[in-house]
Structure 1
Amino acid sequence: MHWVAVIGLVTTLTACGAPADRGFTPQGAAPSKAAVATAPATAETVTIGDGLSVSIEWPDRRDEMITAFTDSYVNQWKAVASGGADETYLSNVEDAASRVAYAWVSGFTRTKTSAKGTAKLYSIRVAAVDGRGAEIDACVDTSGMQVVDAADAPLAQQPNWTKPPKSIYLQVAAVRRGDDGTWRVKFFQHAAFPDQAAKECQR
């Protein structure tokens, strides 16, 4: 999902520091072994509603850090499809991420629009881990989506995030394990075309 771009990381993740070349690295931590190579992926399609779905290419090693990000992504689309009635997505985010997610969903509800098509997540990896904080990187492709009006008719003018090359980008999420043991997204950032990180998501 195409979230609002943020210049720099101004929100402190417990164990999270300054931006790295492709996102950020928790307080001086080197990338974890999970970031060294992309493992074989298993595809799964999550049906959100009539005509809306998310395709997830799971890495061979799936853990709670990764599902914290993917759950957040899927649940935001569920909120969009429900016209804002489904607020499950708010349980997956906190701090800056909650504000970004709320703004994203509100952008649809305020204009009485929704979306159709399939969003794709792939090349998902744990880029860095340090204690209770981690960075998740994922490629996103929303070129198969359209924004629709209240009658399910595609808008005449579609947003850039539905059209190549802007529809393919790198999504970065800072996740943190809370005192209750649950991983949640605290911060979102993305690299869009012509950023090199976004180009590397091209297939």
Structure 2
Amino acid sequence: MDGHVLPMEDQEDQASADDLLLWVLVWSELAAFGILLAGFLVVGFLQADAFASARSHLNPLLAGINTLVLLTSGWQAALAARPAASMTTRRRALALAALFGLGFVAIKLFEYSTEIGAAGLPQFGAFFELYFLITGFHLLHVAFGSAILLLVAWRPSPGNIVLITTLWHVIDLVWIVMFPLVYLV
């Protein structure tokens, strides 16, 4: 037997283990962001005036544009994950998903540059501490995920494509929940 080819039963066991690890990672990410957002909401309730005042220093239009950029990236990731897609289409879609992800990072960093001045003002309470913690944690996920998308585009395999596109959609989902809670509530 060739050392590189697993018997069918072993391949099924490996795929099952891979699926389990993927979903453990997905749920742990959702739990981590859920806890952060719940804390943001609780502190926002306790410091309602400070949070309302601090929100006036955010740019919801820029965040809305960034939402469209990230959703476009997710759409490209979905195209890459289609079983019928050719390898060329998958590579191109993964690379575009990464480029839109990096576009999100650039826009967010520009947004941060306009908000950092208000961050240290005491009248805003804990708003900006939590804002930068939550959005910065998400930003790190987008930046790292973009790098992984490019890596998988360079050396694609079906399992890696499913893994990164699933995680990419989790990153999208987190932002879709985060955007209205942080910018609009």
Give the structure with the larger helix fraction: 2
Q: TM-score, normalised by structure 2?
A: 0.30
Q: Which has the larger radius of gyration?
A: 2
